[in-house]
Amino acid sequence: MEEHRDDVGARMGMWIFIFTELLLFGGLFLVYAIFRNQYSDNFHTAAHELNAFVGALNTVILLISSATVAMAITAVQKGNKSLALILVGITLSMALLFLINKYFEWGHKIHLGIYPGSELLIKLEHGELLFFGLYYFMTGLHVFHIFVGMVILSVIFFKIKSGKIHATDYVLLENGGLYWHLVDLIWIFLFPLLYLIT
């Protein structure tokens, strides 16, 4: 009975954490919306510098990773340890692929001289400067969440492998899956806001 109460507490704790994260990003989305309304022409111009194809590719990657982590939970519930390991491994691979794409995307922007504090950025219109500031801050914060998620999923992978996560004790995997769905959800909002609404 005590273990059951611990599981309920762990799940509740994760939902409270997710709520606070949604408040954080919700606040950033609100700031973005206010500035976009004030500097619509500048935001329109700046948004054309982003590669919508790369953004769409990263969206597909994260959607696949959300599906594989959800399937990993089902695999553990059914006692299929090897399948669960493969699925968590695929999720981690998708996360790494997302980071590689983001590295090349940011690298291209930096090569063009579009990065915080650059001479080119300082010479741009105020609204364009705000757009790129928000772009780097929000996508950077999202990348940080990806890194955290990868650490959590790596721990989960080894706990499944060692048998500590199994068919009757998988709350850590469930919470890790919830966190990863949060990462995916945030990107689903970031992608159209930054890349599509021009």
Query: What are 125-151's pLDDT values in tens digits?
Result: 888 899 999 999 999 999 999 999 999
| Six token digits for residue 79 | 């006692």
pLDDT at 12 over 60: yes
- Structural contact between residues 92 and 8, judged by C-beta atoms closer than 8 angstroms: no
Whether the model pTM is above 0.75:
yes
Q: Give pLDDT, residue 2.
A: 41
- Structural contact between residues 188 and 59, judged by C-beta atoms closer than 8 angstroms: yes
Which of 5, 1, 70, 50 has the alpha carbon at shortest distance from 198? 50
pLDDT, tens only, 160-186: 999 999 888 889 999 999 999 999 999
Residue ranges making up the domain that contains 25: 2-196
Which of 150, 152, 146 has the alpha carbon at shortest distance from 174? 152
In total, how many domains does the chain have? Answer: 1
**What's the CATH code of the domain at 87?**
1.20.120.80
- Structural contact between residues 145 and 107, judged by C-beta atoms closer than 8 angstroms: no
Residue spans of beta strands (DSSP E) within the chain:
none
